[in-house]
């Protein structure tokens, strides 16, 4: 999540794309990636909305703990705090909407200049645009509230403005929360299909399907690949390409999701934090020799392939032994 303005940050430690020095720093990173690999990189643009002006997660004593000092005014569709201890946001006026829209466009233009191959607009997790989409946080009685069309009006205005600035040949995605996890009053999986269809009509290329984090009253149902069913439903009912995310932890899970047609891509965060070489290990596990390795790592590739094959054969032997044991019993 890369924020489009200083007041759009969650915390003082959040990444941004709204100053010239941000452009220079991101360009250095993107140039390095493109120079040394065939990887493509996307920048996810966001505004925190009512979830802004908080401490870094490891500094607060509670979730979404507000800053004790040097905080900033937060804005939202309606003047409803996210948690009882969260700052009360100011309900947005049309002038605020214009500024936020223009901030997204400016950030996208900077991302393009920096060399991003794709942009994603963050409309999930209770941040500003998500706050408009969910009826739990949008209590407006003007054209930007009420029914689904009204609640989607401003998020789609932002999307359209960025899409007009972003080159047609480069993809754009949107991250959504496919459910609020709050009973009958919030967004559910069927709503998500309709929201994805609206995004598709406006030129969205793929939807990044997350869930929840939109309400402090949410009761999420966690588990392995727990958000994949939402991506599956959107892919088939809205005929919209999807990215599956959420507790996807192994190469086998990824390949199963893709092979079964439940999503078009899988996006992983925490597995790459704990193992930056996740993809290289997966290529060794599957004995996929065509996976590009950095030249500095090539000396390790043959060994990784051998060790992965040994581990695979050992696991196969263990499964055979277990089957034989239970047959004997």
Establish if 55 belongs to a structural domain. Answer: yes
Strands (E), the chain: 2-3, 15-16, 42-46, 75-76, 90-91, 118-123, 172-177, 206-210, 242-244, 265-266
Establish if 236 belongs to a structural domain. Answer: no
Cα distance between residue 287 and residue 271, in whole Å: 20
Q: Which residues contact 62 (CB under 8 A, 6 or more apart)?
A: 83, 85
Establish if 192 belongs to a structural domain. Answer: yes
Cα distance between residue 200 and residue 245, in whole Å: 19
Q: How far is CA 217 from the centre of its chain?
A: 21
Establish if 86 belongs to a structural domain. Answer: yes
Q: How far is CA 36 from the centre of its chain?
A: 25
Establish if 190 belongs to a structural domain. Answer: yes
As given in the structure block, the two tokens for residue 170 are 């480069």
Q: How many domains does the chain have?
A: 1
Cα distance between residue 280 and residue 288, in whole Å: 9
Establish if 176 belongs to a structural domain. Answer: yes
Establish if 198 belongs to a structural domain. Answer: yes
Residue in the structure block whose two tokens are 């997966």 = 282
**pTM, whole model, 2 decimals?**
0.94
Establish if 63 belongs to a structural domain. Answer: yes
CATH number at residue 74: 3.20.20.70
Cα distance between residue 212 and residue 188, in whole Å: 10
Domain that holds residue 57: 2-220
Q: Is 222 a catalytic residue?
A: no
Rounded to the nearest 10 degrees, the angle between the axes of helix 189-201 and helix 228-237 is 50
As given in the structure block, the two tokens for residue 189 are 């999986």
Of the residues 18, 127, 288, 297, only one is catalytic, namely 127
pLDDT, tens only, 76-133: 999 999 999 999 999 999 999 999 999 999 999 999 999 999 999 999 999 999 999 9
One digit per residue, the tens of pLDDT, for the chain of length 329 reads: 999 999 999 999 999 999 999 999 999 999 999 999 989 999 999 999 999 999 999 998 898 999 999 999 999 999 999 999 999 999 999 999 999 999 999 999 999 999 999 999 999 999 999 999 999 999 999 999 999 999 999 999 999 999 999 999 999 999 999 999 998 899 999 999 999 999 999 999 999 999 999 999 999 999 999 999 999 999 999 999 999 999 999 999 999 999 999 999 999 999 999 999 999 999 999 999 899 998 899 999 999 999 999 998 898 888 888 877 777 66
At residue 54, the 3 state secondary structure works out as strand
User: With the C-alpha atoms ordered 179, 184, 190, 194, is the resulting torsion angle positive or negative?
Assistant: negative
């Amino acid at each position: 999540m890369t924020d489009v303005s200083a007041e759009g940050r969650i915390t003082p430690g959040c990444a941004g794309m709204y100053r010239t020095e941000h452009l220079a720093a991101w360009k250095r990173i993107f140039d390095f990636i493109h120079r040394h690999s065939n990887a493509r990189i996307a920048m996810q643009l966001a505004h925190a909305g009512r979830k802004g002006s908080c401490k870094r997660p490891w500094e607060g004593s509670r979730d979404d703990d507000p800053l004790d000092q040097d905080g900033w005014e937060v804005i939202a569709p309606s003047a409803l705090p996210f948690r009882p201890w969260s700052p009360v946001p100011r309900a947005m006026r049309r002038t605020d909407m214009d500024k936020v829209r223009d901030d997204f466009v400016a950030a996208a233009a900077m991302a393009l200049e920096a060399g991003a191959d794709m942009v994603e607009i963050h409309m999930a997790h209770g941040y500003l645009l998500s706050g408009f989409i969910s009826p739990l946080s949008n209590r407006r009685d003007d054209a930007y509230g009420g029914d689904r069309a009204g609640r989607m009006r401003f998020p789609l205005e932002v999307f359209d403005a960025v899409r007009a600035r972003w080159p047609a040949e480069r993809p754009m995605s949107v991250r959504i929360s496919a459910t609020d996890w709050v009973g009958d009053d919030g967004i559910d999986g069927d709503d998500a299909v309709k929201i994805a269809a609206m995004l598709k009509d406006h030129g969205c290329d793929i939807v990044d399907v997350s869930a929840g984090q939109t309400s402090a009253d949410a009761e999420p149902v966690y588990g392995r690949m727990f958000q994949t069913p939402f991506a599956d439903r959107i892919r088939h009912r809205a005929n919209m390409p999807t990215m599956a995310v959420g507790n996807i932890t192994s190469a086998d899970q990824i390949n199963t999701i893709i092979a079964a047609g439940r999503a078009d891509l899988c996006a992983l965060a925490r597995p790459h934090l704990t193992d930056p070489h996740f993809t290289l290990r997966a290529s060794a596990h599957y004995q996929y020799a065509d996976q590009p390795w950095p030249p500095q790592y090539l000396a390790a590739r043959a060994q990784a392939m051998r060790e992965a094959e040994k581990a695979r054969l050992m696991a196969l032997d263990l499964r055979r032994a277990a089957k034989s044991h239970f047959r004997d019993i």
